[in-house]
Protein backbone atom coordinates (compact mmCIF):
# COMPACT_ATOMS: atom_id res chain seq x y z
CA UNK A 1 0.00 0.00 0.00
CA UNK A 2 1.38 3.41 -0.97
CA UNK A 3 1.84 6.14 1.66
CA UNK A 4 -0.79 8.19 -0.17
CA UNK A 5 -3.34 5.35 -0.09
CA UNK A 6 -2.56 4.70 3.58
CA UNK A 7 -3.10 8.37 4.42
CA UNK A 8 -6.35 8.40 2.44
CA UNK A 9 -7.62 5.36 4.32
CA UNK A 10 -6.75 6.95 7.67
CA UNK A 11 -8.58 10.13 6.67
CA UNK A 12 -11.66 8.22 5.45
CA UNK A 13 -11.76 6.11 8.61
CA UNK A 14 -11.42 9.20 10.82
CA UNK A 15 -14.14 11.00 8.90
CA UNK A 16 -16.44 7.99 9.22
CA UNK A 17 -15.86 7.76 12.96
CA UNK A 18 -16.53 11.50 13.29
CA UNK A 19 -19.86 11.13 11.48
CA UNK A 20 -20.86 8.21 13.72
CA UNK A 21 -19.82 10.12 16.87
CA UNK A 22 -21.80 13.19 15.88
CA UNK A 23 -24.86 11.11 14.97
CA UNK A 24 -24.81 9.33 18.33
CA UNK A 25 -24.15 12.59 20.13
CA UNK A 26 -27.07 14.47 18.64
CA UNK A 27 -29.57 11.62 18.62
CA UNK A 28 -28.67 11.17 22.28
CA UNK A 29 -29.17 14.87 22.79
CA UNK A 30 -32.75 14.65 21.52
CA UNK A 31 -33.55 12.38 24.47
CA UNK A 32 -32.39 15.03 26.92
CA UNK A 33 -34.01 18.11 25.39
CA UNK A 34 -37.31 18.80 23.74
CA UNK A 35 -36.34 20.95 20.78
CA UNK A 36 -38.68 22.74 18.38
CA UNK A 37 -39.64 20.81 15.23
CA UNK A 38 -37.57 21.03 12.08
CA UNK A 39 -36.64 19.20 8.89
CA UNK A 40 -34.85 15.86 8.95
CA UNK A 41 -31.11 16.33 8.99
CA UNK A 42 -28.11 14.42 7.73
CA UNK A 43 -25.25 13.77 10.18
CA UNK A 44 -22.26 16.03 9.57
CA UNK A 45 -23.89 18.22 6.90
CA UNK A 46 -27.16 18.87 8.76
CA UNK A 47 -29.77 20.88 6.81
CA UNK A 48 -27.43 22.60 4.40
CA UNK A 49 -29.52 21.14 1.58
CA UNK A 50 -32.65 22.97 2.75
CA UNK A 51 -30.78 26.29 2.98
CA UNK A 52 -29.23 26.07 -0.47
CA UNK A 53 -32.35 25.36 -2.52
CA UNK A 54 -32.20 28.97 -3.69
CA UNK A 55 -29.30 31.44 -3.87
CA UNK A 56 -31.53 33.95 -2.05
CA UNK A 57 -31.36 32.81 1.58
CA UNK A 58 -34.67 34.53 2.37
CA UNK A 59 -36.68 32.11 0.21
CA UNK A 60 -35.81 28.85 2.03
CA UNK A 61 -36.11 30.63 5.40
CA UNK A 62 -39.67 31.71 4.59
CA UNK A 63 -40.51 28.22 3.35
CA UNK A 64 -39.24 26.65 6.57
CA UNK A 65 -41.13 29.14 8.74
CA UNK A 66 -44.37 28.41 6.89
CA UNK A 67 -43.91 24.67 7.42
CA UNK A 68 -42.57 24.53 11.00
CA UNK A 69 -43.75 27.74 12.65
CA UNK A 70 -42.06 30.75 14.24
CA UNK A 71 -39.60 28.66 16.27
CA UNK A 72 -37.93 25.70 14.59
CA UNK A 73 -34.69 23.71 14.65
CA UNK A 74 -32.10 23.58 11.88
CA UNK A 75 -28.82 21.73 11.86
CA UNK A 76 -26.11 23.98 10.42
CA UNK A 77 -23.50 21.39 9.70
CA UNK A 78 -23.56 19.19 12.80
CA UNK A 79 -24.65 22.02 15.10
CA UNK A 80 -28.33 22.34 16.12
CA UNK A 81 -29.65 25.88 15.82
CA UNK A 82 -32.95 27.37 16.94
CA UNK A 83 -34.40 29.80 14.39
CA UNK A 84 -36.73 32.48 15.78
CA UNK A 85 -39.10 34.15 13.31
CA UNK A 86 -41.73 36.86 13.48
CA UNK A 87 -41.86 39.92 15.70
CA UNK A 88 -43.96 38.33 18.43
CA UNK A 89 -41.50 35.48 19.00
CA UNK A 90 -38.47 37.77 18.74
CA UNK A 91 -40.03 40.20 21.22
CA UNK A 92 -40.93 37.40 23.62
CA UNK A 93 -37.47 35.83 23.59
CA UNK A 94 -34.98 38.63 22.96
CA UNK A 95 -36.75 41.60 24.57
CA UNK A 96 -39.03 40.35 27.35
CA UNK A 97 -36.63 37.53 28.24
CA UNK A 98 -33.54 39.24 26.87
CA UNK A 99 -31.36 38.55 29.93
CA UNK A 100 -31.94 34.80 29.55
CA UNK A 101 -30.90 34.85 25.89
CA UNK A 102 -28.06 37.38 25.97
CA UNK A 103 -25.09 35.03 25.54
CA UNK A 104 -23.21 34.21 22.37
CA UNK A 105 -22.82 30.55 21.42
CA UNK A 106 -19.41 28.93 21.16
CA UNK A 107 -17.34 30.50 18.43
CA UNK A 108 -18.09 29.23 14.95
CA UNK A 109 -15.42 29.49 12.30
CA UNK A 110 -15.93 33.16 11.27
CA UNK A 111 -15.25 34.42 14.78
CA UNK A 112 -12.31 32.04 15.14
CA UNK A 113 -10.57 33.36 12.04
CA UNK A 114 -11.62 36.97 12.69
CA UNK A 115 -10.69 37.46 16.33
CA UNK A 116 -10.54 34.09 18.06
CA UNK A 117 -13.89 34.68 19.78
CA UNK A 118 -12.62 37.81 21.55
CA UNK A 119 -13.63 41.45 21.13
CA UNK A 120 -17.16 42.55 22.02
CA UNK A 121 -19.47 41.01 19.42
CA UNK A 122 -18.58 37.37 20.12
CA UNK A 123 -18.21 37.33 23.91
CA UNK A 124 -20.77 36.77 26.67
CA UNK A 125 -21.50 37.43 30.33
CA UNK A 126 -19.51 39.89 32.41
CA UNK A 127 -16.83 40.16 29.75
CA UNK A 128 -19.38 41.43 27.23
CA UNK A 129 -21.07 43.77 29.72
CA UNK A 130 -17.79 45.37 30.78
CA UNK A 131 -16.41 45.59 27.24
CA UNK A 132 -19.60 47.16 25.89
CA UNK A 133 -19.87 49.66 28.76
CA UNK A 134 -16.24 50.72 28.37
CA UNK A 135 -16.58 51.09 24.58
CA UNK A 136 -19.74 53.20 24.78
CA UNK A 137 -18.45 55.45 27.57
CA UNK A 138 -15.11 55.94 25.82
CA UNK A 139 -16.60 56.64 22.39
CA UNK A 140 -19.02 59.14 23.92
CA UNK A 141 -16.04 60.95 25.41
CA UNK A 142 -14.72 61.28 21.86
CA UNK A 143 -18.02 62.64 20.56
CA UNK A 144 -20.02 59.48 19.82
CA UNK A 145 -23.62 60.62 19.28
CA UNK A 146 -22.72 64.30 19.74
CA UNK A 147 -22.06 67.34 17.58
CA UNK A 148 -18.32 66.77 17.90
CA UNK A 149 -18.67 63.52 15.97
CA UNK A 150 -20.99 65.15 13.43
CA UNK A 151 -18.18 67.54 12.55
CA UNK A 152 -15.90 64.61 11.76
CA UNK A 153 -18.58 62.93 9.67
CA UNK A 154 -19.20 66.16 7.76
CA UNK A 155 -15.49 66.34 6.96
CA UNK A 156 -15.73 62.87 5.42
CA UNK A 157 -18.96 63.79 3.62
CA UNK A 158 -17.20 66.69 1.90
CA UNK A 159 -14.32 64.45 0.81
CA UNK A 160 -16.83 61.85 -0.36
CA UNK A 161 -18.66 64.42 -2.50
CA UNK A 162 -15.35 65.71 -3.87
CA UNK A 163 -14.34 62.21 -4.96
CA UNK A 164 -17.67 61.70 -6.72
CA UNK A 165 -17.23 65.02 -8.52
CA UNK A 166 -13.92 63.82 -9.97
CA UNK A 167 -15.74 61.25 -12.11
CA UNK A 168 -17.37 64.11 -14.09
CA UNK A 169 -20.51 62.16 -15.00
CA UNK A 170 -18.62 59.01 -15.98
CA UNK A 171 -19.82 55.71 -14.46
CA UNK A 172 -18.36 54.67 -11.11
CA UNK A 173 -18.97 52.22 -8.28
CA UNK A 174 -20.36 53.65 -5.07
CA UNK A 175 -19.14 51.00 -2.63
CA UNK A 176 -15.39 51.84 -2.54
CA UNK A 177 -16.06 55.56 -2.04
CA UNK A 178 -18.49 55.19 0.83
CA UNK A 179 -16.35 52.47 2.44
CA UNK A 180 -13.51 54.95 2.75
CA UNK A 181 -15.79 57.67 4.08
CA UNK A 182 -17.42 55.45 6.71
CA UNK A 183 -14.12 53.77 7.53
CA UNK A 184 -12.49 57.10 8.20
CA UNK A 185 -15.16 58.00 10.76
CA UNK A 186 -14.19 54.87 12.69
CA UNK A 187 -10.51 55.61 12.13
CA UNK A 188 -10.90 59.04 13.74
CA UNK A 189 -12.45 57.47 16.83
CA UNK A 190 -10.20 54.45 17.11
CA UNK A 191 -6.72 55.73 16.33
CA UNK A 192 -7.07 59.36 15.33
CA UNK A 193 -6.08 58.56 11.76
CA UNK A 194 -7.37 59.06 8.25
CA UNK A 195 -7.11 57.14 4.97
CA UNK A 196 -6.98 58.75 1.55
CA UNK A 197 -9.53 57.43 -0.93
CA UNK A 198 -6.76 55.75 -2.92
CA UNK A 199 -4.83 54.40 0.09
CA UNK A 200 -3.81 50.79 -0.76
CA UNK A 201 -3.78 49.80 2.93
CA UNK A 202 -7.44 50.68 3.30
CA UNK A 203 -8.35 48.84 0.11
CA UNK A 204 -6.64 45.75 1.48
CA UNK A 205 -8.56 46.10 4.74
CA UNK A 206 -11.92 46.43 3.01
CA UNK A 207 -11.16 43.53 0.69
CA UNK A 208 -10.38 41.37 3.71
CA UNK A 209 -13.55 42.38 5.57
CA UNK A 210 -15.71 41.91 2.46
CA UNK A 211 -14.28 38.44 1.84
CA UNK A 212 -14.93 37.54 5.46
CA UNK A 213 -18.53 38.81 5.48
CA UNK A 214 -19.41 37.24 2.14
CA UNK A 215 -18.05 33.94 3.44
CA UNK A 216 -19.93 34.14 6.74
CA UNK A 217 -23.23 32.68 5.57
CA UNK A 218 -25.31 29.88 7.04
CA UNK A 219 -25.06 27.92 3.80
CA UNK A 220 -21.38 27.08 4.22
CA UNK A 221 -20.71 23.76 5.95
CA UNK A 222 -17.21 24.76 7.02
CA UNK A 223 -18.50 27.67 9.11
CA UNK A 224 -20.08 25.33 11.60
CA UNK A 225 -17.27 22.75 11.50
CA UNK A 226 -14.15 24.64 12.60
CA UNK A 227 -12.16 21.39 12.41
CA UNK A 228 -12.29 21.65 8.61
CA UNK A 229 -9.74 24.46 8.73
CA UNK A 230 -7.12 21.77 9.43
CA UNK A 231 -7.95 19.79 6.27
CA UNK A 232 -5.04 19.94 3.78
CA UNK A 233 -5.49 22.36 0.90
CA UNK A 234 -8.04 25.16 0.85
CA UNK A 235 -11.19 23.63 -0.63
CA UNK A 236 -13.46 25.80 1.53
CA UNK A 237 -11.46 29.02 1.07
CA UNK A 238 -10.78 29.22 4.80
CA UNK A 239 -7.04 29.76 4.56
CA UNK A 240 -7.37 32.42 1.87
CA UNK A 241 -9.72 34.49 4.02
CA UNK A 242 -7.60 33.91 7.12
CA UNK A 243 -4.55 35.21 5.21
CA UNK A 244 -6.42 38.36 4.17
CA UNK A 245 -7.56 38.96 7.73
CA UNK A 246 -4.03 38.42 9.00
CA UNK A 247 -2.88 41.40 6.94
CA UNK A 248 -5.51 43.51 8.73
CA UNK A 249 -4.52 42.08 12.11
CA UNK A 250 -0.88 42.96 11.44
CA UNK A 251 -1.91 46.52 10.59
CA UNK A 252 -4.02 46.80 13.76
CA UNK A 253 -1.27 45.33 15.92
CA UNK A 254 1.17 47.84 14.45
CA UNK A 255 -1.22 50.66 15.40
CA UNK A 256 -1.41 49.36 18.96
CA UNK A 257 2.37 49.01 19.19
CA UNK A 258 2.90 52.59 18.03
CA UNK A 259 0.36 53.84 20.56
CA UNK A 260 2.11 51.92 23.33
CA UNK A 261 5.46 53.46 22.36
CA UNK A 262 4.21 57.07 22.44
CA UNK A 263 1.61 56.66 25.17
CA UNK A 264 1.15 59.73 27.37
CA UNK A 265 -1.32 59.46 30.26
CA UNK A 266 -1.91 63.18 30.11
CA UNK A 267 -2.79 63.16 26.43
CA UNK A 268 -5.51 60.62 25.63
CA UNK A 269 -6.38 61.28 21.99
CA UNK A 270 -8.36 58.23 20.78
CA UNK A 271 -9.90 54.90 21.73
CA UNK A 272 -6.60 53.01 21.70
CA UNK A 273 -5.06 55.52 24.11
CA UNK A 274 -8.09 55.24 26.39
CA UNK A 275 -7.90 51.44 26.38
CA UNK A 276 -4.18 51.49 27.19
CA UNK A 277 -4.82 53.96 30.00
CA UNK A 278 -7.51 51.77 31.53
CA UNK A 279 -5.40 48.66 30.97
CA UNK A 280 -2.58 50.13 33.02
CA UNK A 281 -4.97 50.75 35.91
CA UNK A 282 -6.07 47.14 36.14
CA UNK A 283 -4.33 44.38 38.02
CA UNK A 284 -3.80 41.18 36.09
CA UNK A 285 -6.00 39.11 38.36
CA UNK A 286 -9.04 41.35 38.45
CA UNK A 287 -12.14 40.02 36.71
CA UNK A 288 -12.73 43.07 34.62
CA UNK A 289 -12.65 43.74 30.92
CA UNK A 290 -8.85 43.88 30.84
CA UNK A 291 -8.01 40.77 32.88
CA UNK A 292 -5.26 38.47 31.68
CA UNK A 293 -7.01 35.19 32.34
CA UNK A 294 -10.42 34.60 30.82
CA UNK A 295 -12.60 31.59 31.61
CA UNK A 296 -14.27 30.47 28.42
CA UNK A 297 -17.06 27.89 28.37
CA UNK A 298 -16.69 26.53 24.85
CA UNK A 299 -19.83 24.50 24.25
CA UNK A 300 -18.83 23.26 20.81
CA UNK A 301 -15.94 21.39 22.39
CA UNK A 302 -17.76 20.20 25.52
CA UNK A 303 -20.95 19.05 23.81
CA UNK A 304 -21.13 15.70 25.60
CA UNK A 305 -20.80 17.24 29.06
CA UNK A 306 -23.26 20.01 28.28
CA UNK A 307 -25.89 17.66 26.98
CA UNK A 308 -25.62 15.12 29.79
CA UNK A 309 -25.47 17.82 32.47
CA UNK A 310 -23.04 15.59 34.40
CA UNK A 311 -20.20 18.06 34.55
CA UNK A 312 -18.82 21.18 32.95
CA UNK A 313 -15.48 21.72 31.32
CA UNK A 314 -13.74 25.06 31.56
CA UNK A 315 -11.05 25.99 29.12
CA UNK A 316 -8.52 28.50 30.35
CA UNK A 317 -7.19 30.71 27.61
CA UNK A 318 -4.32 33.06 28.35
CA UNK A 319 -5.06 36.37 26.71
CA UNK A 320 -3.19 39.62 26.77
CA UNK A 321 -5.09 42.88 26.95
CA UNK A 322 -3.54 43.88 23.64
CA UNK A 323 -5.20 40.87 22.01
CA UNK A 324 -8.58 41.99 23.29
CA UNK A 325 -7.92 45.53 22.10
CA UNK A 326 -7.03 44.27 18.61
CA UNK A 327 -10.20 42.16 18.52
CA UNK A 328 -12.36 45.12 19.59
CA UNK A 329 -10.85 47.29 16.86
CA UNK A 330 -11.66 44.61 14.27
CA UNK A 331 -15.24 44.49 15.57
CA UNK A 332 -15.59 48.28 15.46
CA UNK A 333 -14.35 48.49 11.87
CA UNK A 334 -16.77 45.80 10.69
CA UNK A 335 -19.75 47.16 12.64
CA UNK A 336 -18.97 50.78 11.79
CA UNK A 337 -18.08 50.41 8.12
CA UNK A 338 -19.87 47.52 6.45
CA UNK A 339 -23.48 48.31 7.40
CA UNK A 340 -23.19 51.98 6.46
CA UNK A 341 -21.36 51.41 3.17
CA UNK A 342 -23.72 48.62 2.09
CA UNK A 343 -26.81 50.71 2.93
CA UNK A 344 -25.57 53.80 1.07
CA UNK A 345 -24.71 51.62 -1.94
CA UNK A 346 -28.24 50.16 -1.93
CA UNK A 347 -29.62 53.70 -1.54
CA UNK A 348 -27.70 54.86 -4.63
CA UNK A 349 -29.29 52.02 -6.61
CA UNK A 350 -32.83 53.12 -5.68
CA UNK A 351 -32.01 56.77 -6.28
CA UNK A 352 -30.85 55.83 -9.78
CA UNK A 353 -33.82 53.59 -10.55
CA UNK A 354 -36.57 55.66 -8.89
CA UNK A 355 -36.18 59.25 -10.16
CA UNK A 356 -39.62 60.08 -8.71
CA UNK A 357 -38.38 59.29 -5.21
CA UNK A 358 -35.06 61.06 -5.77
CA UNK A 359 -36.85 64.19 -7.02
CA UNK A 360 -39.09 64.27 -3.95
CA UNK A 361 -36.09 63.95 -1.61
CA UNK A 362 -34.26 66.76 -3.40
CA UNK A 363 -37.25 69.09 -3.30
CA UNK A 364 -37.64 68.46 0.43
CA UNK A 365 -33.95 69.24 1.04
CA UNK A 366 -34.10 72.32 -1.19
CA UNK A 367 -37.17 73.67 0.65
CA UNK A 368 -35.90 73.04 4.19
CA UNK A 369 -32.09 73.29 3.92
CA UNK A 370 -31.35 74.97 0.64
CA UNK A 371 -28.28 74.26 -1.47
CA UNK A 372 -25.72 76.58 0.08
CA UNK A 373 -24.81 74.40 3.07
CA UNK A 374 -24.80 70.68 3.74
CA UNK A 375 -27.71 69.13 5.68
CA UNK A 376 -27.00 68.70 9.39
CA UNK A 377 -28.51 66.54 12.12
CA UNK A 378 -30.59 69.55 13.19
CA UNK A 379 -32.35 69.29 9.82
CA UNK A 380 -33.40 65.69 10.36
CA UNK A 381 -36.79 66.53 11.87
CA UNK A 382 -37.76 68.61 8.84
CA UNK A 383 -36.47 66.09 6.28
CA UNK A 384 -39.16 63.51 6.98
CA UNK A 385 -39.34 61.94 3.52
CA UNK A 386 -35.55 61.75 3.31
CA UNK A 387 -35.45 59.82 6.58
CA UNK A 388 -38.36 57.65 5.43
CA UNK A 389 -36.38 56.77 2.30
CA UNK A 390 -33.40 55.69 4.41
CA UNK A 391 -35.67 53.59 6.61
CA UNK A 392 -37.24 51.92 3.57
CA UNK A 393 -33.78 51.09 2.20
CA UNK A 394 -32.96 49.43 5.52
CA UNK A 395 -36.27 47.56 5.56
CA UNK A 396 -36.47 46.54 1.91
CA UNK A 397 -32.81 45.69 1.30
CA UNK A 398 -32.37 44.06 4.70
CA UNK A 399 -28.64 44.51 5.19
CA UNK A 400 -28.85 41.86 7.93
CA UNK A 401 -31.02 38.92 6.87
CA UNK A 402 -30.40 37.28 10.23
CA UNK A 403 -28.99 38.75 13.41
CA UNK A 404 -25.75 37.66 15.07
CA UNK A 405 -26.15 34.31 16.81
CA UNK A 406 -27.50 34.30 20.37
CA UNK A 407 -27.53 31.63 23.08
CA UNK A 408 -29.38 31.07 26.37
CA UNK A 409 -27.32 31.66 29.51
CA UNK A 410 -28.82 28.52 31.09
CA UNK A 411 -31.28 25.75 30.22
CA UNK A 412 -34.64 27.37 29.47
CA UNK A 413 -38.19 26.48 28.49
CA UNK A 414 -39.86 28.52 25.78
CA UNK A 415 -43.31 27.80 24.34
CA UNK A 416 -43.13 24.22 25.56
CA UNK A 417 -39.65 23.59 24.17
CA UNK A 418 -36.55 22.89 26.25
CA UNK A 419 -33.49 24.80 24.98
CA UNK A 420 -30.10 23.90 26.53
CA UNK A 421 -27.57 26.42 27.72
CA UNK A 422 -25.23 27.60 25.00
CA UNK A 423 -27.31 26.32 22.08
CA UNK A 424 -27.01 28.72 19.19
CA UNK A 425 -30.10 30.62 18.11
CA UNK A 426 -30.49 33.05 15.27
CA UNK A 427 -33.20 35.70 15.02
CA UNK A 428 -34.63 35.83 11.50
CA UNK A 429 -34.84 39.58 10.88
CA UNK A 430 -36.14 39.06 7.35
CA UNK A 431 -39.25 37.36 8.74
CA UNK A 432 -40.15 40.64 10.48
CA UNK A 433 -39.14 43.18 7.83
CA UNK A 434 -40.96 41.20 5.11
CA UNK A 435 -44.07 40.25 7.06
CA UNK A 436 -47.23 41.11 5.04
CA UNK A 437 -49.23 41.27 8.27
CA UNK A 438 -47.05 44.20 9.36
CA UNK A 439 -46.24 46.02 6.13
CA UNK A 440 -49.15 45.15 3.82
CA UNK A 441 -47.07 45.20 0.64
CA UNK A 442 -43.52 44.37 1.80
CA UNK A 443 -42.49 43.42 -1.75
CA UNK A 444 -42.83 47.04 -2.87
CA UNK A 445 -40.22 49.75 -2.29
CA UNK A 446 -42.36 52.50 -0.78
CA UNK A 447 -40.87 55.12 1.61
CA UNK A 448 -44.37 56.58 2.17
CA UNK A 449 -45.14 53.70 4.56
CA UNK A 450 -43.04 55.55 7.18
CA UNK A 451 -44.87 58.88 6.76
CA UNK A 452 -48.17 59.54 8.53
CA UNK A 453 -51.12 61.39 7.00
CA UNK A 454 -50.04 64.42 9.05
CA UNK A 455 -46.59 64.29 7.45
CA UNK A 456 -44.71 63.05 10.50
CA UNK A 457 -42.29 60.16 10.65
CA UNK A 458 -43.70 56.78 11.70
CA UNK A 459 -41.47 54.13 13.22
CA UNK A 460 -43.29 50.83 13.90
CA UNK A 461 -41.97 48.57 16.64
CA UNK A 462 -41.39 45.94 13.94
CA UNK A 463 -38.78 48.13 12.24
CA UNK A 464 -35.69 46.31 13.55
CA UNK A 465 -32.97 46.48 10.84
CA UNK A 466 -30.31 46.71 13.58
CA UNK A 467 -32.11 44.06 15.65
CA UNK A 468 -33.40 44.79 19.16
CA UNK A 469 -33.04 43.83 22.79
CA UNK A 470 -29.94 43.69 24.97
CA UNK A 471 -27.58 42.82 22.13
CA UNK A 472 -28.76 45.12 19.39
CA UNK A 473 -26.14 46.70 17.15
CA UNK A 474 -23.52 48.62 19.14
CA UNK A 475 -23.05 51.15 16.35
CA UNK A 476 -26.71 51.82 15.50
CA UNK A 477 -26.68 55.49 16.53
CA UNK A 478 -23.48 56.11 14.57
CA UNK A 479 -24.82 54.30 11.51
CA UNK A 480 -28.05 56.30 11.54
CA UNK A 481 -26.14 59.56 11.77
CA UNK A 482 -23.81 58.58 8.93
CA UNK A 483 -26.65 57.38 6.70
CA UNK A 484 -28.58 60.60 7.10
CA UNK A 485 -25.61 62.91 6.51
CA UNK A 486 -24.09 61.01 3.58
CA UNK A 487 -27.34 60.28 1.72
CA UNK A 488 -28.94 63.72 2.18
CA UNK A 489 -25.72 65.43 1.03
CA UNK A 490 -25.45 63.08 -1.95
CA UNK A 491 -28.95 63.95 -3.19
CA UNK A 492 -28.47 67.66 -2.45
CA UNK A 493 -25.35 67.91 -4.62
CA UNK A 494 -25.85 65.27 -7.32
CA UNK A 495 -28.53 63.68 -9.44
CA UNK A 496 -27.88 59.93 -9.41
CA UNK A 497 -28.55 58.11 -12.68
CA UNK A 498 -27.75 54.83 -14.42
CA UNK A 499 -24.85 54.83 -16.91
CA UNK A 500 -25.89 56.53 -20.16
CA UNK A 501 -27.76 54.24 -22.50
CA UNK A 502 -28.27 51.52 -19.90
CA UNK A 503 -30.78 50.53 -17.25
CA UNK A 504 -30.36 49.08 -13.77
CA UNK A 505 -32.48 46.12 -12.75
CA UNK A 506 -32.82 44.64 -9.27
CA UNK A 507 -32.58 41.16 -10.82
CA UNK A 508 -29.03 41.95 -11.92
CA UNK A 509 -27.97 43.55 -8.64
CA UNK A 510 -29.59 41.46 -5.89
CA UNK A 511 -27.61 40.14 -4.06
CA UNK A 512 -24.72 38.69 -2.15
CA UNK A 513 -25.89 36.85 0.95
CA UNK A 514 -23.14 36.65 3.52
CA UNK A 515 -22.60 38.36 6.86
CA UNK A 516 -24.50 41.20 5.19
CA UNK A 517 -26.86 41.33 2.22
CA UNK A 518 -24.88 43.38 -0.27
CA UNK A 519 -25.68 44.24 -3.89
CA UNK A 520 -23.65 42.81 -6.71
CA UNK A 521 -21.28 45.43 -8.18
CA UNK A 522 -22.98 48.00 -10.40
CA UNK A 523 -22.20 51.40 -11.92
CA UNK A 524 -24.00 54.74 -11.59
CA UNK A 525 -23.47 58.31 -12.77
CA UNK A 526 -23.59 61.46 -10.65
CA UNK A 527 -24.63 64.71 -12.36
CA UNK A 528 -23.71 67.87 -10.46
CA UNK A 529 -26.92 69.78 -9.76
CA UNK A 530 -25.02 73.07 -9.71
CA UNK A 531 -23.51 72.42 -13.13
CA UNK A 532 -26.90 71.29 -14.41
CA UNK A 533 -28.54 74.55 -13.28
CA UNK A 534 -25.78 76.61 -14.90
CA UNK A 535 -26.40 74.87 -18.22
pLDDT digits (tens, 9 = 90+) for 161-177: 999 999 999 999 999 99
For residue 159, pLDDT beyond 60: yes
* Residues 375-388, mean pLDDT to the nearest whole number: 96
The pairing of strands 424-427 and 79-84 is parallel
Residue 120 and residue 115: Cα distance in Å, rounded?
A: 10
pLDDT tens by residue, 349-376: 999 999 999 999 999 999 999 999 999 9
Q: Given this model, what pLDDT does residue 318 score?
A: 37
Phi-psi bin for 530: left (phi > 0), alpha (psi -120 to 50), beta? alpha
For residue 473, say whether it is annotated as part of any ligand binding site.
yes
Q: Helix, strand or coil for residue 451?
A: strand
Q: Given this model, what pLDDT does residue 92 score?
A: 96
Residue 309 and residue 367: Cα distance in Å, rounded?
A: 65
| 8 Å CB contact between 39 and 68 | yes
pLDDT tens by residue, 445-487: 999 999 999 999 999 999 999 999 888 887 888 899 999 999 9
pLDDT tens by residue, 52-72: 888 888 999 999 999 999 999
Residue 263 burial (10 A CB sphere; 0-12, 13-18, 19+): middle
**Which helix (DSSP H) or strand (DSSP E) does residue 71 occupy?**
strand 71-76
Q: Given this model, what pLDDT does residue 374 score?
A: 97
| 17-534: CATH number | 1.10.630.10
- Per-residue b/e over 180-208, b at no fewer than 16 CB within 10 Å? bbbbbbbbbbbbeebbebeeeebeebbeb
Residues 6+ apart with CB under 8 A from 89: 70, 71, 415
* Residues 3-13, mean pLDDT to the nearest whole number: 49
Residue 25 and residue 210: Cα distance in Å, rounded?
A: 35
**Which helix (DSSP H) or strand (DSSP E) does residue 80 occupy?**
strand 79-84
Q: Helix, strand or coil for residue 149?
A: helix
Residue 304 and residue 26: Cα distance in Å, rounded?
A: 9
Torsion angle of the four alpha carbons 471, 472, 473, 479, in this order, in degrees rounded to the nearest 10: -160
Residue 262 and residue 273: Cα distance in Å, rounded?
A: 10
pLDDT tens by residue, 390-402: 999 999 999 888 8
The answer to which of 46-50, 317-321, 381-385 has the lowest mean pLDDT is 317-321
* Residue-range domain boundaries for the chain: 17-534
- Degrees to nearest 5, angle at CA 91 with 88 and 95: 170
Alpha helices, DSSP H, located in 94-146: 109-115, 125-141
Amino acid sequence: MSPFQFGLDIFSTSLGLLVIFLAILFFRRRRHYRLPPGPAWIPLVGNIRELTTDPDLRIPLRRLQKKYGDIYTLYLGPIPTIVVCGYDAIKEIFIKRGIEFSDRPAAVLPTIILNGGKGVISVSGDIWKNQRKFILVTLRNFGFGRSKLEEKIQTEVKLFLSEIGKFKQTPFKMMPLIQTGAGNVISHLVFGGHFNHNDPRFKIMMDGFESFLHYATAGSLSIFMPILRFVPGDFFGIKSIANKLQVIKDFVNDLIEKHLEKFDEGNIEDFIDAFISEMKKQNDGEKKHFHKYVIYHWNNITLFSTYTNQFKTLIFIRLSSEEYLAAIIMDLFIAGTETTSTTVTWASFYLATRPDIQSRIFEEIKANVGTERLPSMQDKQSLVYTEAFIMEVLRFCQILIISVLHAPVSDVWIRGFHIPKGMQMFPDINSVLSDPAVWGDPENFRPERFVSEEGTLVKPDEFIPFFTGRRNCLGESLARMELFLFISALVQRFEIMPPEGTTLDIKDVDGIFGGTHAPKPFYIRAISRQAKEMN
